[in-house]
């Protein structure tokens, strides 16, 4: 599970980097951009054969991670049912460490909604993307920036996405460190560095993701 977790953590770096291109439209940066940088980045990700192959690998990684998570949850429940030799109560772990099954389920629901809003329209149905969009590099593609604006025009969608990002943050707080321990990479010489990096990653990445729908809704971009 640690290996698939680190793979998905690596993917999030790419995903947040591409999506963060919407912030070029901020008034303090380039308000005339109107999502062009983001649309060009999204077009690049969607048109490269290698990227499309990696999408298959990504979905496989998510599927394996879910199966591994379910098996681990069943094992933990079995142990709790049998009882531990020493009862640690709430002192043995953080609440989010004990709630990874719940957090993972919330994240899966969030992912399905996210795929429905963006991945399926961009790859299959093209709903909301019917009009051709000419980018600054003269390529014709989809106006994903406008699709984001329409999607995040509803407060309930924004709130659901922010809650999904909060779930992601807590999932990562445990998962980042756990992945390194599972793979035997938690050397005592570097454990503080790994913990600090994991904490920073678990806060910064979900925060950037959460700012995207909020920025769209509040009109900071778009």
pLDDT at 144: 96
Question: Quick count: other Cβ atoms within 10 Å of Cβ 86?
Answer: 5
pLDDT in the model for residue 147 = 96
In sequence order, the 6+-apart residues with CB closer than 8 A to the CB of 147 are 117, 118, 121, 122, 128, 129
pLDDT in tens, the chain (222 residues): 667 777 888 889 999 999 999 999 998 999 899 999 999 999 998 888 888 888 888 889 888 888 887 787 777 677 665 654 555 455 556 776 677 778 888 888 899 999 999 999 998 999 999 888 999 999 999 999 999 999 999 999 999 999 999 999 998 888 777 777 766 666 677 778 888 888 999 999 999 999 999 999 999 998
Nearest CA to 212 out of 156, 163, 149, 168 is that of 149
pLDDT one-digit tens code per residue, 111-122: 999 999 999 999
Sort strands 133-134 and 140-141 into parallel, antiparallel or unpaired: antiparallel
pLDDT in tens, 44-69: 988 888 888 888 888 898 888 888 87
- State the first-to-last Cα distance of the chain, in angstroms, to the nearest integer: 39
What pLDDT was estimated at residue 71? Answer: 82
35 dihedral zone (left: phi>0; alpha: psi -120 to 50; beta): left
pTM of this prediction?
0.85
Give, for 183, the enclosing helix (H) or strand (E).
none
Distance of alpha carbon 214 from alpha carbon 217, whole angstroms: 5
* CA distances from residue 187 to 92, 180, 183, 192 in whole angstroms, order as listed: 21, 9, 11, 9
């Amino acid at each position: 599970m640690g290996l698939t977790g680190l793979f998905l953590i690596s993917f999030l770096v790419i995903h947040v980097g591409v999506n963060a291109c919407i912030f070029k439209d901020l008034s303090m940066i380039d308000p005339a951009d109107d999502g062009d940088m983001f649309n060009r980045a999204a077009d690049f990700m969607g048109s490269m054969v290698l990227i499309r192959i990696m999408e298959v690998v990504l979905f496989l990684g998510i599927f394996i991670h879910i199966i591994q998570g379910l098996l681990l949850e069943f094992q933990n429940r079995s142990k709790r049912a049998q009882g531990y030799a020493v009862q640690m109560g709430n002192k043995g772990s953080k609440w989010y460490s004990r709630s990874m099954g719940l957090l993972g389920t919330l994240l899966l629901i969030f992912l399905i909604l996210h795929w429905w809003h963006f991945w399926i329209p961009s790859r299959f149905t093209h709903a909301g993307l019917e009009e051709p969009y000419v980018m600054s590099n003269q390529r014709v593609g989809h106006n994903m920036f406008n699709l984001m604006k329409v999607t995040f025009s509803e407060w309930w969608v924004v709130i659901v996405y922010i809650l999904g990002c909060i779930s992601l943050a807590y999932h990562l707080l445990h998962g980042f460190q756990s992945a390194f321990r599972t793979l035997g990479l938690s050397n005592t010489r570097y454990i503080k560095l790994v913990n600090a990096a994991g904490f920073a990653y678990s806060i910064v990445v979900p925060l950037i993701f959460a700012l995207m729908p909020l920025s769209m809704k509040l009109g900071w971009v778009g």
